[in-house]
Structure 1
Amino acid sequence: MLLALAVLVQLVVLYAPSGPGGPLFPHADKVAHVLVFLAPTALALLAGLRSAVVVAVLAGHAVLSEVVQAAVLPTRAGDPADVLADLVGVALGVLVAHLLRRWGVGGSVPVGS
Structure 2
Amino acid sequence: MSKVLTRLAFAAAVVGQVLALYWPRVDIPGDGVPGTDKAVHVLIFAAVMATGLLAGIPAKWLALGLAAHAVLSELIQHLALPNRSGDLLDLVADLVGIALGWYVIAYVRRHSTARTAPSA
TM-score by length of 2: 0.81
Alignment size in residue pairs: 105
Contact conserved, 1:41 with 1:90, CA < 8 A, in 2? yes
62, 83, 88: which one pairs with 2:96? Answer: 88
Structure showing greater relative contact order (alpha-carbon pairs closer than 8 Å, 6 or more residues apart): 1
2:110 maps to 1:102 = yes
Preserved CA contact (<8 Å) 1:46 1:101? no
Q: Taking every aligned residue pair, what percent have the same amino acid on both sides?
A: 45
Q: Paired residue for 2:25?
A: 18
Distance 2:95 2:40 in 1: 12
* Structure (1 or 2) with the larger CA radius of gyration: 2
**Which range moved further: 17-26 or 5-14?**
17-26
Structure 1 Cα separation of the partners of residues 44 and 62 of structure 2: 14
Unaligned runs of 5+ in 2: 1-7, 114-120
- Among 13, 33, 38, which residue is 1:6 paired with? 13
Residues 32-47 of structure 1: matches in 2 within 5 Å? Answer: 32-47=40-55
- RMSD of the alignment, in Å? 1.7
Alpha-carbon shift at residue 104 of structure 1 (Å): 3.0
Higher share of residues assigned helix: 2
- TM (norm. structure 1) is 0.86
For the 8 Å contact 1:34–1:89, the answer to whether it is kept is yes
Moved over 3 A (4+): 19-22
Equivalent position SS for 1:55: helix
